[in-house]
Structure formats: structure tokens, C-alpha cells
Amino acid sequence: MKKILLSILIIGLAAQSCTKVNENVYDKYAAAQFYSTPAGADDALANVYAKITGTWGSNYAGRDNCWYDLNSFSADEQVIPHRNTGDWQLDFAQLYTRTELPSLGIINNTWNWAYSCIYSANLAVSELTTAKADPSKIAEAKVMRAWLYYLLIDDFGDVPFYTDNNTDISKIPQEKRATIYSFIVSELKANVDLLSETRGGTYYGRFNKWAGYMVLAKVYLNAQVYTGTPQWAACLDACSKIAAGNFTLHPATANTAAPLGNTYYELFGDVCPNDETIFALYITENVISGNIYTIRSLNSANGTALIGFNGWNGTIIPGDFYDKYDASDIRRKQFLVGAQAGGVTYTEAVSSLINPGAGPNEGIRDDKFFPVAPADASGESNDFPVYRYADVLLMQAECNVRLGNTSAAAPFLNQVRQRAGLGDIAAPTLQNIYDERGFELNMEGHRRQDMIRFGTYLLPHGAAPNIVPAGAAYQLLYPIPTAALNANTTLKQNPGYPN
């Protein structure tokens, strides 16, 4: 499976990286003829997928300083403290402590990455439409573009909106969040059923019909945040369409050959299992991006003992988040606290996040993405699960509770809990579902969005002496990057932030 997608992504990366090519002139007919072929259509799409996966400072997830970090470190589930040894930039801790400014590099990187991907998606839509390519391929490009705009309005609210690259992007004004939401929904509803129903194989790491409906479900799930009007029933309908794809939860059984001794953690390994994975990023270290999330967390000696490479001594799990896990929960296996291999002892207590910073061994570590080969000191080859069926079950539980159907919600929630080794909840509350989403989906980029939807994002979080005080309402959105404001003078900063 990975070899098939590898060839597609390499085409896209090569197209981005070439700086010297022979000059050939093709007329419009020749271009249209090329993009009308299966290979040509895949080439147009590969350019978008390559940018989505990306690399350092320009990626959805896997590497650092872009979308994943922006949407993870501002929540309560992880943070990289500055170390009192002088290690680590302050950006990550500033997101966690709500002290970020519009000039923050991670904010600017995320904005630039998303618009670079949208530019490529617009180009793909144009090329494939002009060539009268396979409708499923045109639909795939449109669904990718809708997904990217969904990520943008989730983070920034009102943003520049365009679907034609023949536009002066330095003069595009911001469109209302609710207006872009309507476009996203319309594009998804018009195109999702045109997508392939193939799971895995050539569609591993691509938007098929089930991944398209997953995006629609996510958009509906957060509709009240974006527009003021909830769409719980519509989210349930989209989830039922995904369920028609015959997904199941990946089994969780003790197995010494599996990562962390349990088959559950195969979900975060070399190839994300096809039974549960709906959409994943294909990653191979130093070929197609890389995954840094375990190596970034472990310290040097512990990393060498566990995986043969020095860890970066970065990411920690705040104690208040860790303490919520039941001792019998198999998902607790991902956390490292106390005495560890390499003679290291990690403490739950953390003395400081920014000034003077944490001690070298302070903070709980995480190895959910236990490294697979090829791996080296800069990362590993674990694929990244963007969307999983467990999330669908938890969305179905949440929407049913919000609609007053508590008894209908229980079976969805309890499937996830049973796999984790926990008991059933007969009458789940929103608090039960919120907690379970945190337990199941931590380190996967969903926490900030969940906290905003459940009304917890602005509450104090953290463990003493690093309790982050309550945030202000304007911080539900990130600031428009300073560089974007300078490049496009029609843009207005989100209220509450300086320019």
C-alpha cells in the first residue's frame, strides 16, 4: 500500500523541488489531454497531497512548527516547556499559556501552509476541469480544498477566500466565517458521493468517499461554533454514511510483538490499520516527511535506550491531564513517568514552563507513536491517523446526547470504552463524552477544537505551579499573522490582538 502512494507523492514532491528543467512549450490541448488521463489526474492531485503532508514548518502533522503544533499546544494535553538548560524555543509554551502574539512563527507557518495547499488545490481543480478529467478526480480536488478551508476557519474565523488563482491574493478581503462554512458544506455535499469507495490500496492516504463524509461530519459537529446554529442531526446523518463503509474498531489485545505490548498501538505504527483508519498521512522518514512525536518527547538517555537515538527532551503531558486516566485504561500505556530505561526518572511535577524553565527530567513523556523504521535522530516513519472510526463513534454519542437521546448514545460511547478495558456507562453525559474524546484522541490534533465546542477552552488548566489562568473570549480564535497583515492591507486583525 505504501509503495503505491509513495510513487504518487514523490511525483508531487519532485514537481515542487525542481529548479532546472528543459524548456518545453505545450499548447492548451496537450495539457488538457495529459490531465484527462488517469496518470495526469493523479499527478495534479499529487501536488496537493505532497503539500498537505509537507515537511519542517509546512505540514499538517508529523514534523513540527505548523498546524499540528498550533492546534495541540494551545490545549490542555501537551506542552513543550523551555528548559532551564536553555533548550527549546518559547513558542510552544506561549501557546499553552495563552501568551502568543500575531508574530508567532507557528501561527504564520500554519497560515502560509494552508494557503499554499489551497493554491495547489485550486490549480488541480482548474486543470482537471479544463481537461474534463474523471469526475471522481475533480471531486477529490474539491473535497481537499473544502477540508483546507475548514481548517482555516476553525483556527482564524474570517479569512481570505478564493477559488480562482487568477486573483491578486494581496488584495483578497476576508470573507465571513459563516459564508465560508456554507461553501464548504455545499462543496462537500456536491462532491463526496463522486469519490471512490475504495479503502486502502491506491486510496490509502487519499480522500475517498468515507473520508469526505468524515470532513462533512466534522464541519457539522462544529457548526454552532462557526455559525451559531447547531447541526447535530446532520452530523449524525454524515456519521451514518461513514458507518456504511463497514469500519470497525481495531482490536486491543496483549501482544508482546505489538508496539507498547498491545495491538491497539498498531493504529499509530508504520501503516495505519485499514479496519479503523478513515484518512491517514503516509510518512517515511527522510523520504516523505517524518514523524517526530515520540522522539521529541523522550530525553536523550531514555531515547537511546528505547529506540537507539537521542530524544529531544521536549514534549510533556501535563499532570492534570494524565491524572484523569483510569489506572486500568490501556491508553495509559503511552505515558512514561517514574523510573525508565536509560537510568532516567521522569517526574510528574514540573517546576516552571517559561522562566527559568523545567528541569531536564521534569514532565511525563509520551510514546504513542512508538517509532518504526526507517528512523533516525530526526524522526521516524509512523503514519499519522488524521481520522479514525473511534472518532465517528464518539461523535455519534455526543450528537445523541445533545439531542436528548441518552440511551441511543450509550452503545457508541461504550464500544470505545470497552476496547480500552473500561466499564460501560449506562446514561452518558456530555462530560463523559468530552473526557472519553480526550482519552482516545490525545496527541492526534483534535483537542483544541473539542475544548472550544464543549466550552472548556478558556477555563484555567495546568497543574501547580503552572496553572494557566482563564482566557478571554477573543482567544477562541488565533490572531491573523503579522506577515499576512503586512502582505494584504485589506485584512483586519481578529479583535483583542495587536497587529
State pTM to two decimals.
Answer: 0.94
Q: ∠ CA(243), CA(269), CA(57), 5° rounding?
A: 95
Query: How much is the pLDDT for 319?
Result: 97
d(CA 191, CA 324): 41
Helices 209-221 and 232-243, packing angle to 10 deg: 160
Query: How much is the pLDDT for 17?
Result: 42
Q: Scanning the structure block, which residue is given the C-alpha cell 499548447? A: 27
Domain boundaries 254-456, corresponding CATH code: 1.25.40.390
Per-domain boundaries in the chain:
1-15+28-53+101-246+469-499, 254-456
SS3 338: strand
Among residues 151, 215, 171, which one has the least CA distance to residue 189?
215
Query: How much is the pLDDT for 272?
Result: 98
Query: How much is the pLDDT for 300?
Result: 95
d(CA 400, CA 137): 34
Q: Are 61 and 68 in contact (CB under 8 A)?
A: yes
Q: Are 96 and 73 in contact (CB under 8 A)?
A: yes
Query: How much is the pLDDT for 20?
Result: 41
Give residue 99's identity as a one-letter amino acid code: T
End-to-end CA, the chain = 46
Domain boundaries 1-15+28-53+101-246+469-499, corresponding CATH code: 1.25.40.390
Among residues 115, 138, 117, 144, which one has the least CA distance to residue 40?
138
> Is there a shared CATH topology between the 1-15+28-53+101-246+469-499 domain and the 254-456 domain?
yes
Which residue numbers in the chain have pLDDT < 70? Answer: 1-29
